[in-house]
Structure 1
Amino acid sequence: RDRNGEYEPKIVPKYQRNVTGIEEKVIALYAAGMTTRDIAEQVKNLYDVEISSEMVSNITNRIIPVVTEWQNRPLEKTYSFVFMDAIHYKVREDKQIVVKAAYVVLGVNAALSR
């Protein structure tokens, strides 16, 4: 607050509680593989606003139901084309280095929609 009522918040406009702009950026940074602490640091650098890594976790946890719903959606019975690829990584598992594969599958239906 200021005496003249001229204060304008930098992140969330007056009378608004939604911080979607920052939330979208936090989710995008998280999807790009950044840690919650790195994201909090980036928000501090970009907006000069401190948020905790716990707040970042709370924001990213809100999209989990949407992701789960997308992962469990019903697939079509038939696809005109199916493209499959894999990349292999060496990872530590049970105190050993093993090779794991990350698969990417893309289906194209008769309407040429992915």
Structure 2
Amino acid sequence: SRNGKRSKTVVTDIGPVEIDVPRDREGSFEPQIVKKRQRRLAGVDEMVLSLSARGLAHGEISSHLAEVYGADVSKQTISTITDSVM
């Protein structure tokens, strides 16, 4: 209870969501829903792959996510997501 917490922004299907992550000094806690160092949920990966399969360029996908969901996803992140499939 004395460890405190920090805020973390996670990109989701509905846009960026800010969550409070409790600190764990001993490193014994393993989160179940949002893993350690995870910045986006699986639905975002599927959306990026779907848009890429439809022929959109990485810049177009980035601007689409920013316009529709308010999520700032870089072209490098989109490349990482699409490369993980290959």
Which range, TM-score by smaller chain? 0.5 to 0.7
Q: Distance in 2 between matches of 1:54 and 1:35?
A: 12
Count of equivalent residues: 59
Bigger strand fraction: 1
C-alpha offsets along residues 40-62 of structure 1, whole Å, 9 cap, x if unaligned?
01111121011111110000000
Bigger helix fraction: 2
Larger Rg: 1
- Alpha-carbon distance, 1:9 to partner: 5.7
Contact 2:62 2:73 in 1 (8 A): yes
Name the CA shift for 1:10/1:63 in 2 (closer, same or farther; >3 Å): closer
TM-score by length of 2: 0.57
Q: Unpaired runs of 5+ in structure 2?
A: 1-8, 20-32
For the aligned residue pairs, the C-alpha RMSD in angstroms reads 2.8
Match of 2:3 in 1: none
Higher relative contact order (CA 8 A, sep 6+): 2
Matching of residue 31 in structure 1 with residue 49 in structure 2: no
Give the ranges of 4+ consecutive aligned residues of structure 1 lying more than 6 Å apart after TM superposition: none
